[in-house]
Every structure is written in C-alpha cells, then in structure tokens.
Amino acid sequence: MKRLFLSILILLLTLSTLCQRVLVFPFDQKSGDIKSLWLETGLSASIEESLIYNSILTVPTEHLENYFKEQKLISRPKFPLSSQIGLARKFGASHLIRGEYKIENETIKINYSIFDLTTIIKKQQEGTIEGSVHKLSELTEEIARQFVNGMNIQFKPYPQISNDGFESYIRGRSATDPILKEVYFRKALDIEPEYYDAKCLLAIVLKEENEISESVKILEELKTKSYSKSSLGLRTLGEIKMELGKFGEAKELFLLSLKDSENAEGHILLAKLYLKQGKKEDALNEIKIAETFGTHKREIEEILKELK
C-alpha cells in the first residue's frame, strides 16, 4: 500500500509540474551600455518573482546559472531558440519565456515570447513593452500577467516596492559575487526594511559566508511571514538546523517548506536527513520524488550511491 501511495504521489507531482513549470531564460541585450548587461538575468529574475508570487512553479534562475558552471560555460552564454527549448525540457519545464531588449536614453524596449512545450512546441504569446529602465517591476510584471492570464488564473500584482528597492534586490539576484550580493540586498533593505524576499536572500548569502548567527536570526524572524520565497527560507533554516544536529526541527522545517511549495531541494534535504538517521527506505522514497522534477541530477546520483 505504501509503495502504491508513493507511485500515485509521484505521478500527481509530475502532472502538476508539467502543467505549471516555467523557465524564464535570461534575455539578450541587443543594444545599450555594457553596464546594463545585468538586466539579461535581471529581467528574467524579475519576471520569475512575479510568477512565484502567483503560485506558478518556476525553474529558478540560479539553477540555470549552476548548470552553466557545471558545464564550464561562460556565465551567460547565448543560446538559439532550439537550445533554450532543450534546456527548458531538461529542467522539466512545460513553458519557456524568452526575449531580448535594447536601451536608448533610459528607455528600455523588451520583445518577449512565451512557448508552450507540453505537447508539440508552439508559440503561445508574444509582445513588446516599453518604458523607463528604472521601472523594471512594472514592465516585467506585465509579461508575467500575460502568462498567468493565459493559464486562466487571476493575476495578483506583486506587493508595492519602490523602484530603487526593487532594482537593488534584482541586482543582488543577478550578481555572482557574494560580497556584491550582500551589498545590494542590504541596500534594498535600507530602502524597504520589510522587504522579506530581500531578507531571505541576504540570509542565504550570509550562510554561504559562514555568518551563521546572523543568518539564523533573520530566517527565524521570517519563519511565520508570508512572502514569495518563504519555501526557500524555511528550507535554508532547516538545512542549518540539520547541520547543527537538530534533526527534529530540521524535518519540521523541510515539511513546512514542501507544504508551502513542492520543490526538489526539499525532498533531497529530507533524503539527506533520513540518511543521517539511518532511514534508508525513507531516504529512497524522497529521492524518487525529487527525480520527477528533472533537476539536481548530480546531487541525486550521489545520494543514490550512498543508498546502495
């Protein structure tokens, strides 16, 4: 009965993922100053923020960046449409959002396309939006709105954030250097002190820099808050608790993270936790679920080796 239940659960998760998992590929800059190249990832991250807020599953921009590093590619290689579609399918995405932009005199013009990959590949929507480069959230929210409305879901506008605060946050997401990330997230919080998503990502950077005490303090404060990255915050706090040997608290946080939003990372972390506790069957069940997301192949393979 347990195996049957697991099989049904995996099937339902897979179907759910195929229905609403979006890869927003970094947009190509066609013209503009080299200083605005951060918008290649910045635009996709901004669209992703709005989709997540509307409960749409996405392939995190960071997963794509990590894949580029694993393949020893340059930070943001240029891919033709066929390769972008291939990568979207590799990550288990049912839809691809891609585009290009150009900047002239503080005005940005964005051309975008939305592709449905569920059966045959077809262009679902396309369009052009134009406006001030300093109103990034308003422009990218319109692209997200088109996708969400196309899924017959009532669109929820992203919480009102000042343009400067949002730009600092997105610059932090786009940066690859941890110190720059911290600088931008702290700047965003100076402008918008209750910007929970910025707090969450700051805590993660601090964890990576081994500033565990400050990271835990922030994540504990966020534990009961409602924000688009709450699943990530709970998962990260759980990971710290697991490293500290607090397995009961870690499990509770991983389960809360998965309740908030199904994700491969949560199941992988649960598998690692069960391995530490010698619960190999439970660990294997979690890895089987994680595999349905089509991501983290290398990490999953390492855990499977430990389970043999």
Give tens-digit pLDDT for 65-81: 777 777 776 555 678 89
pLDDT at 247 over 70: yes
Write the DSSP symbol of residue 40. H
Contact 139, 66 (CB under 8 A): no
Nearest to 268 by CA among 250, 252, 289, 253: 289
Instruction: For residues 27 and 37, give the distance between their C-alpha atoms in angstroms, rounded to a whole number.
Output: 10
Pick 66 or 276 by higher pLDDT: 276
Q: What is the pLDDT of residue 63?
A: 78
**Portions of the chain given CATH number 1.25.40.10:** 173-307
**Portions of the chain given CATH number 3.40.50.10610:** 19-158
pLDDT at 4 over 60: no
pLDDT at 295 over 80: no
**Residues 6+ positions from 72 with CB-CB distance below 8 Å:** none
Instruction: For residues 271 and 252, give the distance between their C-alpha atoms in angstroms, rounded to a whole number.
Output: 14
pLDDT band at 10 (very low <50, low <70, confident <90, very high): very low
pLDDT digits (tens, 9 = 90+) for 93-145: 999 999 999 998 889 999 999 999 988 888 989 999 999 988 888 999 999 99
The token pair at 48 is: 């992703």
CATH 1.25.40.10 fits 173-307, yes or no: yes
pLDDT at 196 over 60: yes
CATH class of 19-158: alpha beta
pLDDT at 155 over 80: yes
Parallel, antiparallel, or unpaired for β 21-24 and 57-58? parallel
